[in-house]
Structure 1
């Protein structure tokens, strides 16, 4: 029963294995991706976020249950790396905070660079823990504005050390298999998801938005932790080598046009990525650009436009016009 729900969620919410969409051509994405009014990701301005001092929207602390012992299998679906809970496993559950009811964990996946920005600042990586509202079928969940909840955790890059390797260390054994896309999954293993938790899981921003992949349904309660976890430069380089169909796998920033709340425990000042982390991100972009020079200047312009949340050109058309004889 549970595995059927997981498979259906993958097909329904855009976490599919199909090649019918690409990060390079976001303007071609179907569904609400181009017509929706509350799309994700967004740039969160910390000073504009409403501190919920009266607990009107954020009603009490977030409660995480069962995240320390999760049996999950890993896969490269051509768009991201994701770890999905195994059949018949009792899923972890999150409740409290801005959530009304319980939400059951389904899978987590990775984006590099980060999809969200805080005060205009991107991070090297963003982890999404995806949950479906407990008691709903998938069909019901994607039709309700509160059907899904995604906990976003930012990661910054530090020098290699045992302490900095800890958060993502359990994911490393699967990476050699996941470098390229496969039809199957890497064998399931038990993962302690709490190792990827922020240092204070009560310090976050929250807003209503959408999935960041087609069909971009606006059914997500976003909970974005504002204190990043640490990963090493070596780990970041390993993830950067993964083939996800392009040089990166993050969606452009979308218009904010809605209220953003922040928890009372949220940082007074936003954690800024370390200089080392920023350098790693820039170097990653630089090496990626080198790998796509053959696509011409159109691709370079698109990288810049997508990083700042702007629309991109159709490079295939641009190349055809550029190469056309006068």
Structure 2
């Protein structure tokens, strides 16, 4: 029963009841107004530290058991959320900036995105909540590394190929437009993963709902998941007390790390093209230099000079 308990405790406002709203963030309780390392934030890529030597990010992220997860859906009045069923094997997350294993509990969605990257917000953000394996709820909420959240940003494109990511969830949305629950069903969570799950930013922050405890290791993917316009419109019909359900950006005031995979290197073709262009430019410069020397000789002997600007 502790899995269901932690989900209710952390994400439905059970600590202080459900009496909170995205329209009145300044009235949120707990660390939401007093904390110093709150989430979400605007991540500036130029300011993020690339962990080339693995001082903070120790190896790749490892995902085990995310392909077939038995979870039940619900509209809790703040978001749509899918919670793993009690007694089901829990997917396990490890590696990257994490020390030890983290057990998956649930995923939920925000529209617009909560995080921004280089000042840009995205249409949607998916959060995968994990608790450090072996901890109770109370212990996790008291430790700075008690929870880990994978955040996947989403971009809207048109076309049938954009339907794949949310294809399993879309049929469920009309049934939970109002605040209601769905029976459990098997979901392939890897469909909701970023195209590159090793390319991300990571920092220490908080939950983005009351009481905003600062116990979260955030792992924010920087490569958007593509969803369809038709699917995205379905979420605007879900009753979450307003047209959106994201918290405002909070002060950064802390170190943000960037995985090595997030560095964009020139492609092989682009590099070759650049080298060819450089070679052509150098060849042109040399040719004009030779032309100038030849013209000096031509002038000395009284011959007609050549236009070096036409030299190829």
TM class by smaller structure: 0.7 to 0.9
**In the alignment, which residue of structure 1 is the partner of 2:210?**
214
Q: 2 CA distance for matches of 1:196 and 1:9?
A: 22
CA gap 1:201/1:88 in 2 versus in 1, 3 angstroms: same
Q: Which residue of 2 aligns with 1:136?
A: 135
Name 2:305's counterpart in structure 1: none
Q: Deviations over 1:111-131 (max 9, x none)?
A: 000000000000000000000
Bigger Rg over Cα: 2
Q: Cα distance, 1:15 vs. partner?
A: 2.9
Work out whether 1:202 is the aligned partner of 2:194: no
Tell me the CA shift for residue 267 of structure 1: 4.0
Q: For residue 165 of structure 1, what is the aligned residue in structure 2?
A: 163
TM-score by length of 2: 0.83
Verify the 8 A CA contact 1:9 1:15 in the aligned structure 2: no
Provide structure 2 residue ranges, at least 5 long, that are not aligned to the other structure: 266-312
Distance in 2 between the 1:49 and 1:15 partners?
Answer: 32
1:258 is paired with a residue of what secondary structure? coil
Residue aligning to 2:262: 266
Per the TM alignment, residue 239 of structure 1 is displaced from its structure 2 partner at its CA by 1.1
Show the counterpart of 1:247: 243
TM-score if structure 1 supplies the norm length? 0.79
Contact 2:4/2:83 (<8 A) preserved = no
C-alpha contact (below 8 Å) 1:14/1:215 kept by paired residues? no
Equivalent positions of 1:1-326 (< 5 A) are: 4-16=1-13, 18-161=17-160, 163-182=161-180, 185-268=181-264
Supply the distance in 1 between the matched residues of 2:189 and 2:31 (Cα, whole angstroms): 31
Q: Which moved more, 1:37-46 or 1:17-26?
A: 17-26
Q: Number of residue pairs matched?
A: 263
Following superposition, the deviation at residue 5 of structure 1 comes to: 1.5
Q: CA RMSD in A?
A: 1.1
Gaps of 5+ in 1: 270-326
CA deviations on 1:137-194 (whole Å, 9 max, x unpaired) are 1110000000000000000000031x21101111012111111112xx2011100000
| CA distance in structure 2 between the aligned counterparts of 1:246 and 1:128, rounded to whole angstroms | 19
Q: Distance in 1 between matches of 2:70 and 2:8?
A: 21
